[in-house]
């Protein structure tokens, strides 16, 4: 099933094809490194539609069936940028803060239903998206994509404790836990898998 989840039409097509789900992972997201003064209103709205409303629309639909079944898992993939908004990705950070607000509020709304709602906050992760963003820098430096990603972490996110980009599986492991029966007492949480980028004792 292929659909543009940044639009109501795309969401409707997906829901018609797959009307029921026990676990929803809202992982759709876009990002760029663009100066605040260079981002027009249209791009702000596009980021909001993709990064926020896609998850809102899916959760609003699928949560109904989860409530009826007395069990379900909703996971929002936010970002460390949602709590430590970077100067070069403000529009992205704002949408990731919104993910946290929706996740926490929805967890309260679904209290005592058997449905949990949580957010994951990855740090820089070695995804295709990060590789594409850093492709030009890698070409200019002669580094491999992995080396360039790790260099990005060291320079752009110097507070990282692991001093490298996380692997996709390292983030997915947390999602698997949250999607399982083992996480029944975990809801309304914002769980970091950011390699220590966010320098705080809490969250």
Residue 39 has pLDDT above 80, yes or no: yes
pLDDT in tens, 84-126: 999 999 999 999 999 999 999 999 999 999 999 999 999 999 9
Q: What is the pLDDT of residue 1?
A: 82
Distance CA 27, CA 178 (A): 14
pLDDT bin (cut points 50, 70, 90) of residue 54 is very high
Q: Among the options 48, 62, 92, 177, which is catalytic?
A: 92
Q: What is the pLDDT of residue 16?
A: 96
Q: Clarify whether 92 is annotated catalytic.
A: yes
Distance CA 40, CA 177 (A): 39
Three-state DSSP state, 78: coil
């Amino acid at each position: 099933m292929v659909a543009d989840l940044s639009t109501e039409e795309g969401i409707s097509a997906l829901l018609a094809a797959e009307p029921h789900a026990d676990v929803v992972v809202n992982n759709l997201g876009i990002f760029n490194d663009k100066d605040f003064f260079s981002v027009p209103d249209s791009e702000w709205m596009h980021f909001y539609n993709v990064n926020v409303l896609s998850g809102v629309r899916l959760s609003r639909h699928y949560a109904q069936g989860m409530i009826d079944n007395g069990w379900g898992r909703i996971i929002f993939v936010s970002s460390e940028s949602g709590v430590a908004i970077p100067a070069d990705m403000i529009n992205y950070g704002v949408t990731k803060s919104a993910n946290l607000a929706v996740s926490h509020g929805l967890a309260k709304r679904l209290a005592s239903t058997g449905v949990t709602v949580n957010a994951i906050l990855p740090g820089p992760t070695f995804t295709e998206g990060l590789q594409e963003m850093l492709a030009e820098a890698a070409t200019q430096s002669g580094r491999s994509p992995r080396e360039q990603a790790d260099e990005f972490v060291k320079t752009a996110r110097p507070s990282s404790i692991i001093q490298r980009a996380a692997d996709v599986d390292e983030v997915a492991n947390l999602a698997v836990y949250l999607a399982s029966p083992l996480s029944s007492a975990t809801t309304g949480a914002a769980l970091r898998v950011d390699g220590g980028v966010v320098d705080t004792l809490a969250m």
